[in-house]
Structure 1
Amino acid sequence: MPRISAAQRRSDFIKAAVEVIATYGIEGATTRRIAEQAQANLAMLHYCYDSKEDLFADVYEFVAGRYRDALENNDSPGDVAETARRLLRGVMECYLESASFTMAAMELISWARRQHGDRGIEVYDKALETVRTALRDAGSDQPIEPEIVEEIAFVIAALADGFAANWLTYGDRSAALGQMELATSVLDSWLAARLGSTPVAPSQR
């Protein structure tokens, strides 16, 4: 049997931690449960991580990376409205792909906010900055005002979070698919109204 590298073991423990956090919450995510989920012994987990908080820090980075990937994988050329639409759908599809990831992400953000103050906000900040960058790039031919970029980013986050809460509450995939379309149509309607009279940035006047 080929030897499993420490890097692969850490990856296994991160994925296992996501599943355990989703099922038992942060407080119930013991190292023993995580090791069992990863089909590894507890000694191996402690070999890879000095403490549970070190493991959770990597899980936190994993969550932030999943948000980033969901947003950056939707970077096809398009105007601001089309870009915003793709960004929203990218996050909702990420949530729909794994209820465990969605639950663990919400748990971890709340935990990090309680335990580490500003670090609990960082995952949101990173995701929002990716959204802002994509929107600014989409509007490069006729940049929109920074405050409008902020508004669009907020609306995307609000709609995605609402979708996540409903998906976690009911777990109805068929209903969630319909709600994705509904959330997208709400964004489309708001963008049509908001961008119809959006002023261009000062540098373009």
Structure 2
Amino acid sequence: MARVPAEQRRRQLLQAALRVVATEGVAAASTRRIAGEAKLPPAVVHYCFRSIEDLLDALTALVFGEMAEVAAVALRAHGGVESSIRAALHRLWAPYRTDPARYKALFDLVPYALRRPSATMVIRDYEDKICGLAERFLIDVAERNNKTWQDPADVISRVLISTVDGVVLAWLIDRDDGKTEAALDWLAASIASGVTDSSGHS
């Protein structure tokens, strides 16, 4: 039987860990449980990762790295101020609808990561990156429409990202598409109301 490269085993174990965390929570993510989910001997986990904490740190980096990639695609300006923001917010929500279990795992990993210095740096870097993407998006939207934000774009971007996090978390709980769409549309309209044109009119 051909030897499987360690990196391939790592990816296999990370995907297994993601499934365990998504369905049972971080507390259930033991070496034995993850190995069983991956259909591998527990010794393989120890071969690929220094510890279960090392594996969960790697999982945190993987999940939040993917989220940053989603945001980079979603936060692009097209059209008017409100329509651009509305479309971007719906694009940020779309992956949750496609793979809700994956994003349940994301929210479960946050409290774990906040107790681990190495993992805390991962989510801190993610927050800095996604807020930076949102800030550049807002500046681009305003410039394309000959508008100026009444408040600092970095403040608005933080409110935007924090509010979207809350809205999509609520969706993971109740799966109410209509209320989520209404909330995102309201957020887009509220944020868009904070621009003025070159003559100073909103």
TM value normalised by structure 1:
0.79
How many Å separate the matches in 2 of 1:143 and 1:192? 10
Paired AA for residue 132 in structure 1: E
Do 1:92 and 1:180's aligned partners in 2 also have CA atoms closer than 8 Å? no
1:198 Cα deviation after fit: 6.6
1:149 Cα deviation after fit: 1.6
Deviations 1:111-159 (A, max 9, x none): 1112328525333222222222333344455574594322432332233
- In 2 relative to 1, CA 7–80 (structure 1 residues): closer, same or farther, beyond 3 Å? farther
Deviates more, 1:179-188 or 1:50-59: 179-188
1:28 aligns with 2:28: yes
- In 2 relative to 1, CA 69–82 (structure 1 residues): closer, same or farther, beyond 3 Å? farther
Unaligned runs of 5+ in 1: 201-205
1:42 match? 42
TM value normalised by structure 2:
0.80
Paired AA for residue 57 in structure 2: A
How many Å separate the matches in 1 of 2:150 and 2:55? 37
- In 2 relative to 1, CA 80–12 (structure 1 residues): closer, same or farther, beyond 3 Å? farther
1:131 aligns with 2:141: no
How many Å separate the matches in 2 of 1:4 and 1:12? 11
1:6 match? 6
Deviations 1:54-85 (A, max 9, x none): 11121111122121121122336445544433
Matches within 5 A, 1:104-115: 104-115=105-116
Paired-residue identity, %: 27
1:96 match? 97
Deviates more, 1:151-160 or 1:60-69: 151-160
How many Å separate the matches in 2 of 1:91 and 1:131? 11
Unaligned runs of 5+ in 2: none
1:33 Cα deviation after fit: 1.0
1:169 aligns with 2:173: yes
How many Å separate the matches in 1 of 2:82 and 2:6? 44
- Deviating runs (4+, > 6 A) in structure 1? none
1:114 partner SS = coil
Deviations 1:13-50 (A, max 9, x none): 11211221123322221011111112222111111111
- In 2 relative to 1, CA 80–2 (structure 1 residues): closer, same or farther, beyond 3 Å? farther
Paired AA for residue 108 in structure 2: E
- In 2 relative to 1, CA 46–157 (structure 1 residues): closer, same or farther, beyond 3 Å? same
1:121 aligns with 2:127: no
Residue number among 152, 155, 163 corresponding to 2:156 in the alignment: 152
Deviates more, 1:59-68 or 1:143-152: 143-152
How many Å separate the matches in 1 of 2:150 and 2:117? 30
How many Å separate the matches in 2 of 1:156 and 1:31? 38
1:190 Cα deviation after fit: 0.5
